[in-house]
Amino acid sequence: MKFSAFIIAAAAGSASAFAPSPIKSRTVLSAATLEAPAAEVKEAVEEPADASMEVEQDFPVADNFVKDSERIMPGRYNDKEKSIAIPFLPRPTALDGSHAGDYGFDPLGLSEKLDFYAMQESEVRHSRLAMLAAVGWPMSELLAPQWMLQHGCAPSVLNGANPLAALTIVGFLGAAGFFELKTSLRQSSSTPMGKIHSKDMGAVWKYGVAGDYNWDPLNLYSSCGDDFKGRKGLRDVELSHGRVAMLGITYFAFWEALTGHPIVENNMLFHPNALFPLLVAGYTAWTQIYEVGPLNEYPIEIKYANEGEMKLKRVQNGIKDTVGQISESASESKKSLDELDSKYGIYAAPQKAIDAVRSTYKYW
């Protein structure tokens, strides 16, 4: 019997070893009020908080910190395998849509062989010179005296030039070369506009924007929006115009070299006429209704623009209503004239007048 009691006691002791130890509360609540004693409350208030329990902390923010939502992020075209400009060629790796004027056009792969920033800088400079030349070339042929021209054509490498014009061209090219030398290695990141570009392009590279001379006297740079999207959009517009101008000035030179006639001769762009305004008005009206689908998608479609179908129906209804009003007005006018003819014979009056005049002269 004693041995059985010993076994039972030993089993109970070993089981209690695996039971959780009772939690000792430092604060004893009163059964009547369910409130802690004042001394315990004071001790709990005065006890310092553990530093690891702090939730809010102040972190220093750098002065040049820019949120991703406020700058250009690289990789806009990373999901496109083909070039936008040439859909049957692969997209060049460097042309990912981060820079203005990027449509993936680089069939020779120069963006991967040469310095990308230097090529962008060169394109911007050529674009700006071409835009000036595209205006100056025809204006010189329209306004300059004949002794400054070559048989009515602007002086050029292909057209030739008289000594005075050649000296002027050489002087201009020398000034442009000196400007190129002095500004090719300029540091633009410290200028006000350069700092803005550094923030806009900080996630892409550290070189800012090509063609930045910190020059905007009319404050037009923010005309499309005073943020990174508006500034990139305006740079895109500048490059688009510059590329068209480079093609245009090349066409001017070769046309005059091949034909020997000035570009302004018999050209509707430079002489008053009604055809060119009508063409512009027709193109503008067409773009309000239709648009060309993406060139990188097959098949290339011509489809309605935004609200284009509604605008077309509005025009059709307007024409229909106008024709109906004119027809109704003409019918009413015809009815009135018929009533007058029945009373006074106005339809036969002109012939009677002619016969009366003829009767006054026997040789009619």
DSSP string, 26-51: S-PPPTTT----HHHHHHHHHSPPPG
Q: What is the pLDDT of residue 299?
A: 83
List all residues 6 or more positions away from 262 whose beta carbon is below 8 Å from its beta carbon: 141, 149, 152, 153, 154, 256
Quick one: pLDDT at residue 131? 96
- What's residue 364's pLDDT? 56
Q: What is the pLDDT of residue 47?
A: 52
The parts of the chain modelled with pLDDT lower than 70 are 1-65, 296, 361-364
Integer CA distances (angstroms), 297 to 82, 87, 286, 292, 301, in order: 10, 8, 22, 11, 9
Q: By the 8 A CB rule, do 248 and 130 touch?
A: yes
Q: How far apart are CA 329 and CA 351, in angstroms?
A: 27
**What is the distance between the alpha carbons of residues 179 and 213, in angstroms, rounded to a whole number?**
12
Looking up tokens 């205006």 gives 135
Nearest-angstrom CA–CA distance, 311 and 319: 12
CB 106 within 8 Å of CB 114: no
Compute the radius of gyration of the chain from its Cα atoms. 42
All residues at 6 or more sequence positions from 152 whose CB lies less than 8 Å from its CB, including other chains? 141, 146, 261, 262, 265
**What's the CA gap between 245 and 262, in Å, rounded?**
18
Give 291's DSSP letter.
Answer: E
Bridge partners for 267 per DSSP: none
CB 158, CB 251: distance < 8 Å:
no
Confidence (pLDDT) at 324: 92
Q: What contacts 309, CB < 8 A, 6 or more positions away?
A: 289
What pLDDT, on the 0 to 100 scale, is given for residue 41? 44
pTM over 0.75: no
